[in-house]
Structures are given as C-alpha cells and as structure tokens.
Amino acid sequence: MTFVFSIGYYFDRFDANFIIATNIAKQLKKLGNECFLLAYSFHADKEEKRVFNDMEVTILPINPENAKYKKEYSEANKDKLSYSLSHPLKTLHYVARKTEDYKEIHRYIDKLVSKSEDSFLIGFVSPFEVSERIIRNNHSCPNVVYQLDPWGYHELFDRSKKEERIKKEISLFDSCSHIFTTDVLYEAYQNDPLYQKYTDKIECLYYPNLIEKKHTEKRFDFIGDDHYNLVFLGTLEDSYRNPDYLIRKVLALREEYRIDIRLFFIGNIQSQVAQNYAEQYDFIYIRESMPMKEAGELMNSDDIFLLNIGNTLKYQTPSKLIDYISSGNPIVNVVRIREDAYYSLLDEYDNGISLHEYEEDDNEKFYRFLMDHKGRKIKFEDLRRKFERFTPEYNADRIVRSLKGIRKNG
C-alpha cells in the first residue's frame, strides 16, 4: 500500500501533527508500505526536503496573496525547530485563496498516488481551509481525513460562526472515503445528530506517541538532583492553559512543608501569569524552546517530575501527555475543567497525580506524592501492556485494516 500524508503547514518547530504523522508512517514502513510525507510553506520558493523525527518530509510552496504577511512570517519563524505545541491563531486563520496556489501541489500528489493502485491520501485537517482544498481535489485514490482538532467545535474560534464551520466540516466529510479522529472527538460526533450519518466512516484512533525512549546519562546544568524539579514542556497561554492554580499550590507547599520545589516552564511561554510570578520568585524559571531531540532527552532524564497543565478546551487534549507517560517519569497533571477527557489516564498510570483546579485539592496529597515518587520510573514493558492503544503499532494496524476494507468494498 502507498500512503501520502498531507500534514499541513510546516512551522520549523515541533508540531503535534508532525509527530503523530511521522510515528504512524514509521510503523507503516516497517510493515512494508510506502509512505510520503508532505507539508506546505508560505516562504519556501521551491520544493525542499527536511528530516523530522527521523522521517523525510517534502515541503511544497504555497504562494500567498499577501506578500507583506509572507515576509513577516518568514522572519518570525526562521530556524525554530523547537518543542512548541501550538501555532499562532492568526496563522491558523490565514488562507491562500487563489486556486492556482494549489495546482502544483495537486500535480505533485497525483504523481505520488499514481505509483500504486493501492494508494491513499491521508489529510491532516490543519488548518481547515488549506487541508480542505487539498483533500477535496479529485485525486485518483481514496481521500481520508485525519482530524486531531475540531473545526466546528473549536472553542477558540468565533462562536457566532460555529454553524457555518460545522456546515463546512460536514461538507468535507461528505467528500472523503473515511475519517480518523481522536477518541474525544469520536464520542462528540457519535452524540451529535448533525454528524451521525457519518458514523459508518468515522473511526477512533489514539495518539500514537507511546514509544520507548532511550535512557540518557546526559545531565542538564539547570536541573539539580537535590530539588523537586517540576518541568513543563510546550506552549503556555493564559486564555486556555493558565498556570496560576499550579503556581499557587507550589507556593503553598514551599511555605507549609519547607520543600525546595523548582518550576521550569520551557518552550513557547506566552503566559503573562508565569512571567509575572517568575519576576517575583527565584524558584520559577522560564526558558526558551529547545531542539526536539534535547527536549526528548530532558523528558526522559532522572530527578524530574513532568508537568502537564490541562487546557479548558473540551474537545482538545494534549498528545504531550502520552509522550510524558512514555518516559515512565512521575507526572503532575493539572485538571482545569470537569470535562477534561484525559485526566483519567493518570488513574491508569501508577506514577502520576491529578490536581483538580475546580475542587481545590488538599496540599498534603500533593506533598505526599512528591515525597513518595521522586526518582521513580516505570518500565516501558509495563507501560506498553497497559497503554497499548497509544502505540504506533496498534494505530497503524487499525489504519491498514480500515483502508483495506475501503478498497475491498469500493
């Protein structure tokens, strides 16, 4: 089988879509399939090849109408291959509207899918307008949607235009052969009458990020083994991932139990709350994004507690939590809303704690966890047995079986 992955914009930095697509593609290649990974750039003048997560990605240019935006975007995103888990919303909304912007991309895809009669185009919906133009085109193979984030249900977008977005999303679903989505969105679609006519072709996949990480002896100068180090990696933004509750809990523990907790926020830290606290307290550190490989080594290092701050977006969950679990390290997870679908994962994980912002957990529970779990790691073999559904093997197998069925029935 031949799989062409259309991943979305290339941002020169860590991106959840890219991690998931490359994890799946690696496994599909192991099974003897051919895989091509495509991404798109405003500021590329010609086809480029990059290696991302040990996989080759072809970057194709999209020529935007707005030359000024192209220049600003290029300067702002130069050489930033780093651990950052979201995009500027203004970039997500940008659209190259001219039909001719996509002609070369369509020709490129047609050339790839013509290599085999058993080809599939798998389009990640990121962002919707660009992905829609690419997925909808009448390529000579089944077009498959892979949706990690909602479009109609997206809670950061204009609520007054929700119905309009849902209509567009449904129209895209009409045009494709199959739909893969997250467990959270799958459940939402199953319960919404607007989407129920697609139940036969919507299928749940899990974040395929449970991968064994090589242990490293590398030491990070800013991490001390005599402290309780809480390390956050990713994007921190006050509107939907506010760290205030977590920082207040840490302040309370430091005062009540005289425990030396250090907080590290590493990545795309847009949070003014975190910056204000860091100016007041010398145990709070904000560091710039680090290269993806180095971030992975830090995640897997000893003497740290990995910190996840859940967001307030009901239909979106951070795939990063599965990366954390893969390390076997202790995890502190802040749950900000009752509808957070992934906080229950920490109930399955024997080396984690969930702090519920809406319930004001007692400080002793948090303190006891830090005392009992410092330096503790869970073996990957045990994690694989318990969280098999999050492995690339499990999800790649589901993709192959589902798409073979499309060919058979088509």
Q: What is the 3-state secondary structure (H, E, C) of 332-374?
A: EEEECCCCCCCCCHHHHCCCEEEEECCCCCCHHHHHHHHHHHC
**Could you say which architecture CATH assigns to the domain 2-208+391-409?**
3-Layer(aba) Sandwich (3.40)
Mean pLDDT for the stretch of residues 64-68: 46
Segment holding 286, helix H or strand E: strand 284-287
**In 129-167, which positions are buried (b, 16+ CB within 10 angstroms) versus exposed (e)?**
ebbbbbbebebebbbbbbbbbbbbbbeebeeeeeeebbe
Highest mean pLDDT among 59-63, 139-143, 345-349, 381-385: 381-385
- Which residue type sits at 343? Y
Q: What is the pLDDT of residue 340?
A: 77
List, in sequence order, every residue forming a beta bridge with 49; answer none if it has no partner: 58
Q: What is the mean pLDDT of residues 123-144?
A: 81
Distance of CA 89 to the CA centre of its chain: 15
Q: 302 has which bridge partners? A: none
Report pLDDT digits (tens) over 242-279.
999 999 999 999 999 999 999 999 998 999 999 999 99
Strand partners, 144: 122, 178
Q: What is the mean pLDDT of residues 312-331?
A: 88
Whether omega for the bond prior to residue 88 falls within 30 degrees of 0, making it cis, is no
101: pLDDT confidence band, cut at 50, 70 and 90?
low
Distance CA 276, CA 187 (A): 39
Look at residue 32 in the predicted model and tell me its pLDDT: 96
Question: H or E stretch including 175?
Answer: helix 162-175
Query: What is the band of 158 on the pLDDT scale with cuts at 50, 70, 90?
Result: confident
| CATH topology match: 2-208+391-409 vs 228-386 | yes
Confidence band (pLDDT; 50, 70, 90) for 78? very low
Reply yes or no on whether the pLDDT at 87 is more than 50.
Answer: no
- For residues 190-217, average pLDDT: 85
Band (pLDDT 50/70/90 cuts) for residue 90 is very low
Average pLDDT of the residues in 28-53: 90
Domain range list for the chain: 2-208+391-409, 228-386
CATH number of 228-386: 3.40.50.2000
Decide if pLDDT at 81 tops 60.
no
Six token digits for residue 313: 């977006």
- Of the pLDDT bands very low, low, confident and very high (cuts 50, 70, 90), residue 305 is very high
Q: Region 230-241: what's the mean pLDDT?
A: 91
User: So what's the pLDDT on residue 185?
Assistant: 84
Q: Which of residues 83 and 175 earns the better pLDDT score?
A: 175
Per-residue pLDDT, averaged over 279-293, amounts to 91
More confident call, 198 vs 91: 198
CA 321 to chain centre: 9
